[in-house]
Amino acid sequence: MVLMVSEEVRDAIAAGRPVVALESTIIAHGLPRPRNLQVARELEAAVRREGAVPATIAVLDGTPRVGLDKEQLERVANEGGIRKLGHRDLPLAVATGASGATTVSATALLAALAGVRVFATGGLGGVHREWTVTQDESADLGLLARTRITVVCAGVKSILDVPATLQRLETLGVAVAGYGTDRFPGFYLSDSGHPVDWRLDTPEEVAGVMRAQDVLGGPDSALIVANPVPEDEQLDPGTHARVLDEALRACRAAGVTGQGVTPFLLDHLVRHTDGASLEANLAAVRGNVALAARVAAAWAAGE
């Protein structure tokens, strides 16, 4: 697989300057046009304001790219037929010359291959509800169990089985810490209702854990920094509970299964909260991107 790293990102990595990886599924599949391109540019600008270099990741014409230029970002946002690529899809996309936006698992893998240590996203995938029946679990978890990268996120998507996901992360040996909180965030919500075992309060503390991972030399696995959306920007918890329950019942009634479940539920939440869930999602992503840039700066300063 030929991995193309932009000159700006390559120079920053070589010089030990901070770099933050950004996924592209939110651009291609998570937001309506033209807002998707506006948000993509906004997130890259937020990384730069914190003194780091953004590395948005995608696959274009069969070439994985770490760091997109203006035209490439516009392609991801506006071109029809952009696929959604997990890490398992990368060889297929490369061999067939396909173009696709990268999910958490594909972004984390390509970032790590390029030498980027910090990655910002919205919410992770995880164990789906009714797992004992469906055996449906996101590929994010297994990939993060064998990839040395720090992921700043707002927890896992609240449509999932959060306690089962936390248990699975523990089983897989993936470190999880709340950032400025003892509670695990709930994506749209500041608090999922579940605690975390570890709390970190500064970017320097996060960078210290990253260095300890390397010194200990244990299995390559991720560090998840769970950064809650601010309470005044979260989705109203009562609205969230009501609409999610309605979405789950609608999903079962429609017979939606497998990869179709998550987009169905997320779309239902957007439509039945009058867009409030989308705004909470974006608030979380903005906070995660800024924090990831500060973590990357702290990491670069200590190398």
- Write out the binding residues for substrate: 84, 104, 138-140
Band of the pLDDT at 31, cuts 50, 70, 90? confident
Residue 253 host element (H or E): helix 237-254
As a whole number, mean pLDDT of residues 187-215 equals: 97
220 CA to centre of own chain: 19
DSSP string, 184-250: EEETTEEEEEEE-S-EE-SHHHHHHHHHHHHHHT-----EEEE-PPPGGGSPPHHHHHHHHHHHHHH
Please tell me the number of Cα atoms within 13 Å of 266 on its side-chain side.
22
- Write out the binding residues: 84, 104, 136, 138-140
As a whole-number percent, the residues of the chain with pLDDT over 90 amount to 84
Band of the pLDDT at 130, cuts 50, 70, 90? low
Band of the pLDDT at 58, cuts 50, 70, 90? very high
Q: Which residue has the tokens 């760091």?
A: 67
Q: Inform me whether the pLDDT recorded for 124 exceeds 80.
A: yes
pLDDT of residue 261: 78
d(CA 242, CA 269): 10
Domain boundaries 1-116, corresponding CATH code = 3.40.1790.10
Band of the pLDDT at 171, cuts 50, 70, 90? very high
pLDDT of residue 218: 85
pLDDT in tens, 93-112: 999 999 999 999 999 999 99
**Lowest-confidence segment of 18-22, 55-59, 174-178, 276-280 by average pLDDT:** 276-280
As a whole number, mean pLDDT of residues 137-145 equals: 90
d(CA 106, CA 10): 19
Q: Inform me whether the pLDDT recorded for 188 exceeds 60.
A: yes
Structure token pair of residue 103: 């999910």
Taking CA atoms, 174 is separated from 38, 143, 151, 218, 227, in Å, by: 33, 10, 11, 11, 16
Taking CA atoms, 125 is separated from 13, 35, 99, in Å, by: 28, 23, 22
d(CA 175, CA 33): 36
271: Cβ–Cβ under 8 A, 6 or more apart, which residues?
none
Catalytic residues: 23, 157
pLDDT of residue 70: 97
Residue 9 backbone dihedrals phi, psi, to 5 degrees:
-65, -45
Mean pLDDT of the chain: 93
pLDDT in tens, 240-280: 999 999 998 999 899 887 767 778 888 899 999 999 999 99
Buried b / exposed e over 34-48, threshold 16 CB at 10 Å, is: eebbebbbebbebbe
As a whole-number percent, the residues of the chain with pLDDT over 70 amount to 96
pLDDT of residue 303: 61
As a whole number, mean pLDDT of residues 31-43 equals: 94
pLDDT of residue 298: 98
Q: Inform me whether the pLDDT recorded for 36 exceeds 70.
A: yes
- Write out the binding residues for Mn(2+): 136
pLDDT of residue 131: 60
As a whole number, mean pLDDT of residues 154-168 equals: 91
pLDDT of residue 134: 61
Contact 119, 149 (CB under 8 A): yes
73: Cβ–Cβ under 8 A, 6 or more apart, which residues?
27, 37, 40, 41, 44, 56
Handedness of CA 12, 15, 18, 21 (dihedral sign): positive
* pTM more than 0.85: yes
d(CA 84, CA 100): 5
As a whole number, mean pLDDT of residues 134-142 equals: 78
pLDDT of residue 265: 85
61: Cβ–Cβ under 8 A, 6 or more apart, which residues?
97, 98, 99
Domain boundaries, the chain: 1-116
pLDDT of residue 206: 98
As a whole number, mean pLDDT of residues 67-80 equals: 97
Q: Inform me whether the pLDDT recorded for 233 exceeds 80.
A: yes
As a whole number, mean pLDDT of residues 156-173 equals: 92
